[in-house]
């Protein structure tokens, strides 16, 4: 005898109650089913009576779509069957090739979560290969979950399925849910709006797709909350960057707007290097497929985002607060939890902390990354479909593509700030006041008053006298301010160079302490074993100690000489003089010669004709630049095995610029970090002996750019990690010769 399982009807109701977390989530699952059925439009209707101010007496929920619907066989074999393989086997939709987003069986269970009585009306679309016994009929299925009671066998409970002839070619599903189990509140309706709005990409991203999925929510009997979640925030964003990845090349365009502008426009070029659009390399030889990003960035002060009439809008502030983050869409379907409230998967928060400049924060950003399953096979969702596998492809998407694009926007914003500062410096407030005073004086002088009284003439003279005093005082203030600015500039230049001295001491601290420790150990040993050691051994100990002392002496001698540049009268550190580049380089080479010899480093320098004369610089500033370059190269060379280690510095003077190239064949720099090395406190060196301050490259750029109007950058580099044995870096400095000319210097 064989016996079969039976299922208590009540058990199915329990499954429905427990399988979906909330009524809001249940509605989302039903909308996902419409998306998977290739619907172009889906409407969610709430029918309610308002009985209390914040309470809705929702009587019915209706979800309707224009998808391909269900045939009689679909209803019988899929909807009415508990657990099928259809969602696992059909991962791409029939017509529009959408990635199926609904979960297996969730539509059935979602209905149970929402209400006891279900009416499903289906008008199936027929196509070649789709078989049905009733292809020309509309189908209506009625389910009353109140009939599924304890003690009843699941398979014995009938559900009414009716048929009617179709009178038109319309197709789709209408799902009516009544006898609702949940008492809906206005806040929950608003949550439905928000979550459905975030389920798919905003229209400004998916508008190119003629088959884009459109979701609408209609309220009946009450006023629904505004469903327009992102569009208001996007409209007023002062900054936007759009970028796409094709192969190993990223193409980007930056847009900006002022508060009172109606629309954003493509950002104007700042200089030859910082443009409103451009191309950058992905920075990794491993390609991940096509990807796009559209990112909106808001100024830190919310009062500057929008026109005056909406600046105090609480809705605008709340929308940014609730929607900030960078979202991921895979085949136009949102991948959770990326970009959800508080989710900072790109790591903008930790990256921002403790850094200067225009670093973007997660709370100020709304972004949309779009990829596709076919185009990015290496970026895979986990089996639970709750996040993406954190593999190499995802790492490159995050660090090389998304962060790479963000850095381009940051660089542009920072450059624009610097340009604005420079323009502001050119405006002399005192001169503006004196100009205004002169205009007022001219106006008073030209006043034509018939028969002026003595009192009037006296008052006129008094006003003129007062204006003269204002003019005189503003001139004095300008002169005082100019002196203070010059003193501050002098102090800043001195502090930069003193910082270089400190960096040198830190970089070569190990090179001081190690030989001195060896000398100390040998001397102690000689004192202890003097009578036991033979003369040759004693001589060997003393010779080695002498060499160690010479290394320390030469280093100390150079650093002491460099420090001496800061002595003297106040402001002397700003004094420029005609440089003898050859002599300065030889002095540095002598100071570090023994150290380079010890580590097997060959130092070369090439000074082309034209660099010997008429180069006027501050000696300490020039040596600061060279020392910082040398320090970086020295550390890089101590980390790689080389048969021959090289540091080479080349000077070349053209008709317009002095060009300095500094080369080493050390570990190289990843192209993604070419700009990051200039960020204050950013360093790749770890550990006590090779710790970097993260300030060396920053000081180089500040001295070259701010004191001499030049540029400092990585010209090219090969990273040792990806090209073993071939690592190298070429650092480029270019300074306009007009800024090194004695004739342009102020009296010193």
**686: pLDDT strictly greater than 50:** no
What would the mean pLDDT of 611-638 be, rounded to a whole number? 81
**717: pLDDT strictly greater than 70:** yes
Q: Are residues 203 and 235 in the same domain?
A: no
pLDDT at position 572 is 42
Q: Where among 181, 201, 220 does a domain terminate?
A: 220
Neighbours of 488 (CB within 10 A): 10
Give the model confidence (pLDDT) of 246-260 as tens digits.
999 999 999 998 776
Q: Are residues 214 and 324 in the same domain?
A: no
SS (HEC) of 665-716: CCCCCCHHHCCHHHCCCCCCCCCCCCCCCCCHHHHHHHHHHHHHCCEEEEEE
Among the ranges given (506-520, 586-600, 719-733), the one the predictor scored with the smallest mean pLDDT:
506-520
Give the model confidence (pLDDT) of 425-477 as tens digits.
655 566 666 666 777 777 777 666 677 777 777 777 777 777 777 777 777 77
**How far apart, in Å, are the Cα atoms of 657 and each of 488, 508, 610, 612?**
27, 32, 11, 14
Among the ranges given (137-141, 536-540, 590-594, 734-738), the one the predictor scored with the smallest mean pLDDT:
590-594
Q: Are residues 249 and 329 in the same domain?
A: yes
Whether 435 maps to a domain, the answer reads no
pTM of the model: 0.46
CA-closest candidate to residue 621, choices 503, 695, 702: 702
Q: Are residues 349 and 397 in the same domain?
A: yes
Whether 698 maps to a domain, the answer reads yes
pLDDT at position 672 is 80
Q: Are residues 178 and 252 in the same domain?
A: no
Among the ranges given (2-11, 147-156, 201-210), the one the predictor scored with the smallest mean pLDDT:
201-210
pLDDT over 70, % of the chain: 73
Q: Where among 177, 194, 220 does a domain terminate?
A: 220
Give the model confidence (pLDDT) of 384-397 as tens digits.
556 788 899 999 99
Question: Looking at the 3D structure of the chain, how many domains does it have?
Answer: 3
Whether 377 maps to a domain, the answer reads yes
Q: Are residues 595 and 663 in the same domain?
A: yes
Instruction: Give the structural domain span for 315.
Output: 231-426
Whether 208 maps to a domain, the answer reads yes
Q: Are residues 239 and 329 in the same domain?
A: yes
pLDDT at position 72 is 93
* CATH number (domain holding residue 495): 3.30.565.10
Helix, strand, coil percent values for the chain (each to nearest 5): 45, 20, 35
Q: Where among 220, 244, 266 does a domain terminate?
A: 220
Whether 174 maps to a domain, the answer reads yes
Q: Are residues 287 and 201 in the same domain?
A: no
- For residue 283, what are the contacts with CB-CB under 8 A and spacing of at least 6? 400, 404, 670, 671, 672
**How far apart, in Å, are the Cα atoms of 310 and each of 545, 555, 726?**
76, 63, 57
Give the model confidence (pLDDT) of 499-544 as tens digits.
655 555 555 555 666 777 777 788 888 888 888 888 888 888 888 8
Q: Are residues 88 and 139 in the same domain?
A: yes
Give the span between the Cα atoms of 447 and 137, in whole angstroms: 94
Q: Which two tokens stand for residue 549?
A: 């002392």
Whether 64 maps to a domain, the answer reads yes
DSSP sequence for 332-363: TEEETTTTSTT--TT-HHHHHTT--SS---GG
pLDDT at position 330 is 83
pLDDT at position 119 is 95
What would the mean pLDDT of 263-278 be, rounded to a whole number? 86
Whether 611 maps to a domain, the answer reads yes
Contact 265, 255 (CB under 8 A): yes
- Of residues 645 and 679, which shows the higher confidence score? 645
Is the Cα dihedral 19, 20, 23, 28 positive or negative?
negative
Q: Which two tokens stand for residue 172?
A: 């789709």
Q: Are residues 169 and 311 in the same domain?
A: no
**333, burial (CB in 10 Å: exposed 0-12, middle 13-18, buried 19+):** buried
What is the distance of C-alpha 379 from the center of its chain? 20
Whether 721 maps to a domain, the answer reads yes
Determine the straight-line distance between the first and last CA of the chain, rounded to whole angstroms: 113
pLDDT at position 687 is 43
Q: Are residues 636 and 677 in the same domain?
A: yes
SS (HEC) of 472-538: HHHHHHHHHHHHHHHHHHHHHHHHHHHHHHHHHHHHCHHHHHHHHHHHHHHHHHHHHHCCCCCHHHH
Which is it for strands 616-617 and 577-578: parallel, antiparallel or unpaired? antiparallel
* Three-state DSSP state, 122: strand
Burial 110-119 (b: 16+ CB within 10 A, else e): bbbbbbbbbb
Give the span between the Cα atoms of 378 and 394, in whole angstroms: 8
Give the model confidence (pLDDT) of 176-231 as tens digits.
999 998 888 878 887 787 777 666 666 666 555 667 788 888 888 887 654 443 44
Q: Are residues 671 and 722 in the same domain?
A: yes
pLDDT at position 255 is 93
- Of residues 648 and 91, which shows the higher confidence score? 648
pLDDT at position 598 is 79
Which is it for strands 172-180 and 214-220: parallel, antiparallel or unpaired? unpaired
What is the distance of C-alpha 60 from the center of its chain? 45
């Amino acid at each position: 005898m064989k016996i079969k399982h039976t299922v208590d009807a009540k058990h199915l109701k329990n499954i429905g109650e427990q399988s979906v977390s909330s009524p809001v989530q249940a509605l989302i699952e039903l909308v996902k089913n419409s998306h998977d059925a290739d619907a172009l439009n889906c409407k969610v209707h709430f029918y309610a009576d308002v009985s209390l101010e914040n309470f809705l007496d929702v009587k019915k929920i209706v979800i309707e779509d224009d998808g391909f619907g269900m045939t009689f066989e679909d209803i019988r074999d899929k909807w009415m069957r508990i657990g099928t393989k259809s969602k696992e086997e059909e991962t791409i939709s029939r017509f529009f090739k959408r990635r199926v987003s609904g979960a297996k069986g969730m539509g059935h269970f979602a209905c149970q979560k929402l209400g006891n009585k279900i009416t499903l009306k289906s008008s199936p679309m027929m196509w070649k290969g789709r078989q049905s016994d009733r292809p020309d009929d509309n189908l209506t299925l009625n389910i009353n979950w109140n009939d599924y009671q304890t003690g009843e066998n699941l398979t014995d409970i009938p559900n009414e399925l009716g048929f009617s002839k179709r009178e038109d070619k319309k197709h789709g599903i209408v799902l009516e849910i009544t006898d609702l189990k949940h008492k809906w509140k206005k806040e929950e309706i608003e949550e439905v709006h928000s979550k459905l709005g975030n389920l798919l990409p905003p229209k400004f991203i998916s508008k190119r797709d003629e088959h884009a999925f459109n979701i609408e929510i209609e309220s009946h009997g009450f006023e629904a909350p505004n469903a327009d979640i992102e569009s208001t925030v996007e409209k007023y964003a002062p900054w936007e960057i759009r970028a796409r990845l094709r192969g190993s090349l990223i193409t980007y365009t930056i847009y900006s707007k002022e508060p009172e502008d109606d629309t954003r426009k493509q950002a104007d070029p700042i200089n030859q290097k910082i443009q409103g659009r451009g191309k950058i390399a992905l920075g990794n030889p491993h390609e991940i497929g096509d990807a796009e990003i559209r990112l909106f960035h808001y100024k830190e002060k919310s009062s500057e985002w929008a026109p005056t009439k909406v600046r105090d809008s609480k809705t605008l502030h709340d929308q940014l607060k609730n929607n900030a983050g960078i979202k991921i869409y895979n085949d136009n379907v949102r991948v959770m939890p990326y970009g959800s409230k508080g989710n900072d998967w790109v790591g903008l928060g930790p990256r921002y902390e403790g850094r200067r400049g225009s670093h973007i924060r997660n709370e100020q950003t709304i972004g949309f990354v779009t990829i596709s399953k076919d185009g990015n096979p290496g970026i895979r969702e986990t089996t639970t479909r709750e996040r993406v596998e954190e593999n190499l492809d995802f790492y490159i998407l995050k660090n090389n593509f998304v962060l790479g694009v963000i850095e381009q926007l940051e660089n542009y914003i920072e450059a624009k700030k610097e340009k604005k500062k420079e323009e502001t410096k050119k405006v002399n407030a005192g001169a503006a006041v004196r100009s205004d005073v002169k205009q007022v004086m001219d106006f008073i002088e030209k006043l034509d008053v018939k028969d002026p009284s003595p009192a009037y003439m006296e008052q006129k003279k008094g006003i003129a006298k007062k204006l003269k005093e204002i003019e005189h005082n503003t001139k004095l203030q300008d002169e005082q301010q100019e002196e203070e600015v010059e003193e501050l500039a002098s102090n800043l230049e001195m502090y930069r160079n003193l910082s270089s001295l400190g960096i040198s001491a830190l970089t070569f601290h190990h090179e001081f302490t190690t030989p001195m420790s060896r000398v100390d150990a040998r001397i102690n040993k000689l004192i202890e074993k003097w009578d036991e050691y033979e003369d040759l051994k004693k001589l060997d100990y003393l010779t080695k100690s002498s060499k160690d002392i010479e290394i320390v002496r030469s280093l100390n001698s150079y650093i002491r000489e460099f420090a001496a540049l800061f002595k003297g009268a106040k402001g002397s550190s700003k004094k420029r003089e005609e440089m003898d580049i050859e002599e300065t380089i030889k002095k540095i080479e002598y100071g570090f010669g023994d150290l380079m010899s010890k580590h097997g480093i060959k130092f070369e320098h090439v000074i082309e004709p034209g660099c010997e004369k008429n180069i006027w610089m501050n000696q300490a500033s020039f040596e600061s630049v060279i020392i910082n370059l040398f320090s970086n190269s020295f550390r890089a060379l101590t980390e790689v095995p080389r048969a021959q280690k090289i540091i080479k510095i080349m000077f070349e003077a053209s008709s317009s610029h002095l060009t300095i190239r500094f080369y080493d064949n050390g570990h190289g720099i990843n192209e993604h970090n070419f700009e990051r090395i200039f960020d204050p406190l950013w360093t790749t060196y770890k550990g006590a002996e090779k710790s970097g301050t993260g300030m060396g490259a920053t000081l180089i750029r500040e001295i070259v750019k701010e004191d001499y109007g030049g540029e400092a950058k990585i010209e090219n580099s090969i990273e040792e990690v990806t090209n073993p044995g071939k690592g190298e870096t070429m650092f480029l400095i270019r300074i306009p010769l007009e800024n090194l000319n004695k004739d342009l210097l102020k009296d010193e």
